[in-house]
């Protein structure tokens, strides 16, 4: 068991309003979860918000208790970095995508492997549909295989599970990774974003490309992360162009844009308040000074509506690769290149922020 509490590393909320420039500090003790040996890649809460799944470049996705960071167990079987995971609505099934060219279905409780989907290349992202009968899996390009989006039917009984894809979608530029694909409202669409900086909406019925983001307003560099609202109405994308953008999921209208100073690797939206969180940081190889502040490894909070920065949570010693809000909106966790998961429970000050 490796769980420890560290010295209060503050959650700093500064208000930079027009006239007075005051600093409002709230102290909260993050729980530092040290279970991975390699950089974190993805974090996912279950619907009830009591379990937290973490994926990292080591080969074992890990399950934690979301309220105190106790490690419940690991899912052993992958043979490469695990990029992404999703958990079914009833918290019984877990799906993971890995660089070992497989996506695996797991029994959450027992940790048993139920099924393995084999691909010719790394499985970059996974997402269960509404109803958990379908899963969308994106694969990278590799050795002449172009990157693609696969839709698999998930059988009720693992015995009946088949490997065949229901639908395969090819991105126009097969040489660019598709970093994330998620289901749209009522499973009618799939929304994808990746290295070509374009967001695409696909029809799941016909496999046709319905919409793609406008070059003018869209991202200028690789899209690294995509997170959707609980009601599938809108979604947030983070990009290396140092912005995050909020889109309407049905019309692909750009609603908001948040600008920060570092490439964005991870984004999350608060289910409770009108807050969005951006995580990222200068790529470790381009950090020029020894000062950890230089890299800006901070989770930045923005007001969703006003697009203004509210504050930031420091603590990681490397770029933030993963962010997730607890569905109750009262805590969030961040995973970094430094191999740590930091679990933050907000204190009352957070809920009284006025800007």
Partner 1 sequence: MAAVVDIDALSAQLGVNWSEVNLDSIQLPPGNNFGIESDDEAVYHDDQSEFDTGFGNIIVVDHLPVVPKEKFEKLEGVLKKIYNQLGVIKENGLWMPVDPDTKMTLGYCFIEFNTPQEAQNAKEKSHGYKLDKTHIFAVNMFDDFDRLMNVREEWEPPQARPYVPGENLQKWLTDEKARDQLVIRSGPDTEVYWNDARQKKPEPVHKRPYWTESYVQWSPLGTYLVTLHKQGAAVWGGADTFTRLMRYQHSMVKLVDFSPGERYLVTYHSQEPSNPRDASKVEIKVFDVRTGRMMRDFKGSADEFSIGGPGGVAGASWPVFRWAGGKDDKYFAKLSKNTISVYETETFSLIDKKSMKVDNVVDICWSPTDSILSLFVPEQGGGNQPAKVALVQIPSKVELRQKNLFSVSECKMYWQSSGEYLAVKVDRYTKTKKSTYSGFELFRIKERDIPIEVLELDNKNDKIIAFAWEPKGHRFAVIHGDQPRPDVSFYSMKTAQNTGRVSKLATLKAKQANALFWSPTGKYIILAGLKGFNGQLEFFNVDELETMATAEHFMATDIEWDPTGRYVATAVTSVHEMENGFTIWSFNGNLVYRILKDHFFQLAWRPRPPSFLTAEKEEEIAKNLKKYSKKYEAEDQDVSLLLSEQDREKRRALKEEWEKWVMQWKSLHEEEKLARQNLRDGEVSDVEEDEYEAKEVEFEDLIDVTEEIVQESM
- Cβ pair 149, 178 in contact under 8 A: yes
Report in angstroms how near the CB of residue 305 gets to partner 1 at its nearest: 5
Is the CB of 7 or the CB of 289 nearer to partner 1? 289
Backbone region of residue 281 per phi and psi (left: phi > 0; alpha: psi in -120 to 50; beta: other values): left
- Cβ pair 316, 342 in contact under 8 A: yes
Interface with partner 1 (CB under 8 A), residue from 110, 159, 285, 288: 288
Mark residues 74-93: x for contact with partner 1 by CB under 8 A, - for none.
---------------x----
Backbone region of residue 189 per phi and psi (left: phi > 0; alpha: psi in -120 to 50; beta: other values): beta
- Cβ pair 327, 39 in contact under 8 A: no
Interface with partner 1 (CB under 8 A), residue from 130, 210, 254, 273: 130
Should residue 293 be labelled a site residue for partner 1 when binding is judged by CB under 8 A?
yes
Contact positions with partner 1 (CB under 8 A) in 22-81: none
Should residue 294 be labelled a site residue for partner 1 when binding is judged by CB under 8 A?
yes
Should residue 291 be labelled a site residue for partner 1 when binding is judged by CB under 8 A?
yes
Q: Which stretch binds partner 1 (CB under 8 A): 16-24, 68-76, 110-118, 335-343?
A: 16-24
Should residue 217 be labelled a site residue for partner 1 when binding is judged by CB under 8 A?
no
Phi, psi torsion values for 3, nearest 5 degrees: -140, 130
- Cβ pair 325, 45 in contact under 8 A: yes
Report in angstroms how near the CB of residue 191 gets to partner 1 at its nearest: 15
Of the candidates 259, 254, 217, the one whose C-alpha atom is nearest the C-alpha of residue 235 is: 254
> DSSP code of 31?
E
- The residues, any chain, with a CB within 8 Å of residue 322's CB and separated by 6 or more, are 40, 41, 42, 43, 54, 55, 265, 266, 279, 334, 335
Report in angstroms how near the CB of residue 257 gets to partner 1 at its nearest: 13
Is the CB of 56 or the CB of 227 nearer to partner 1? 227
> DSSP code of 36?
-
Report in angstroms how near the CB of residue 103 gets to partner 1 at its nearest: 21
Contact positions with partner 1 (CB under 8 A) in 166-185: 185
Is the CB of 8 or the CB of 185 nearer to partner 1? 185
Is the CB of 38 or the CB of 256 nearer to partner 1? 256
Q: Which stretch binds partner 1 (CB under 8 A): 62-70, 78-86, 92-100, 288-296?
A: 288-296
- The residues, any chain, with a CB within 8 Å of residue 218's CB and separated by 6 or more, are 197, 198, 199, 245, 254
How many residues line the site for partner 1 (CB under 8 A)? 35
Distance CA 344, CA 164 (A): 41
Report in angstroms how near the CB of residue 301 gets to partner 1 at its nearest: 17
Contact positions with partner 1 (CB under 8 A) in 219-248: 229-234, 248
Of the candidates 93, 127, 87, the one whose C-alpha atom is nearest the C-alpha of residue 111 is: 93
Residue whose tokens read 């307003």? 217
Should residue 18 be labelled a site residue for partner 1 when binding is judged by CB under 8 A?
yes
| Residues contributing to the site for partner 1 (CB under 8 A) | 16, 18-19, 21, 89, 129-131, 133, 185-187, 229-234, 248, 250, 255, 261-262, 274, 282, 286, 288-289, 291, 293-294, 296, 304-306
């Amino acid at each position: 068991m490796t769980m420890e509490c560290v010295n209060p590393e503050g959650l700093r909320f500064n208000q930079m309003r027009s006239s007075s420039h005051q600093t409002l500090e709230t102290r909260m003790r993050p729980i530092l979860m040290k279970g991975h040996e390699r950089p974190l890649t993805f974090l996912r809460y279950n619907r009830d918000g009591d379990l937290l799944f973490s994926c990292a470049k080591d080969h074992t996705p890990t399950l934690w208790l979301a309220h105190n960071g106790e490690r419940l167990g690991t899912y052993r079987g992958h043979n490469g970095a695990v990029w992404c995971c999703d958990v079914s609505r009833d918290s019984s099934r877990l799906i993971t995508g890995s660089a070992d060219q497989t996506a695996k279905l797991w029994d959450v409780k027992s940790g048993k492997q139920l099924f393995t989907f084999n691909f010719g290349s790394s499985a970059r992202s996974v997402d269960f549909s509404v109803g958990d009968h379908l899963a969308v899996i994106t694969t990278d390009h590799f050795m002449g295989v172009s990157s693609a989006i696969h839709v698999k039917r998930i059988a009720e009984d693992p015995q009946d599970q088949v490997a065949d894809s229901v639908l395969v979608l090819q991105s126009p530029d097969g040489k660019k990774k598709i970093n994330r694909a998620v289901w749209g409202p009522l499973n009618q669409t799939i929304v994808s974003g990746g290295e070509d900086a374009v967001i695409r909406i696909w029809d799941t019925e016909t496999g046709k490309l319905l919409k793609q983001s406008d070059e003018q307003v869209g991202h200028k560099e690789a899209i690294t992360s995509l997170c959707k609202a609980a009601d599938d109405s809108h979604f947030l994308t983070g990009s290396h162009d140092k912005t995050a953008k909020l889109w309407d999921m049905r019309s692909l209208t750009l609603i908001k844009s948040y600008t920060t100073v570092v490439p964005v690797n991870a984004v999350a939206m608060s289910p409770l308040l009108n807050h969005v969180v951006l995580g990222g940081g200068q790529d470790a190889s381009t950090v020029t000074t020894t000062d950890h502040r230089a890299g800006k490894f901070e989770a930045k909070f923005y007001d969703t509506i006003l697009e203004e920065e509210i504050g930031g949570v420091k603590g990681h010693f490397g770029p933030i690769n993963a962010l997730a809000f607890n569905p109750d909106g009262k805590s969030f966790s961040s995973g970094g290149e430094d191999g740590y998961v930091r679990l933050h429970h907000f204190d009352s000050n957070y809920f009284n922020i006025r800007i």
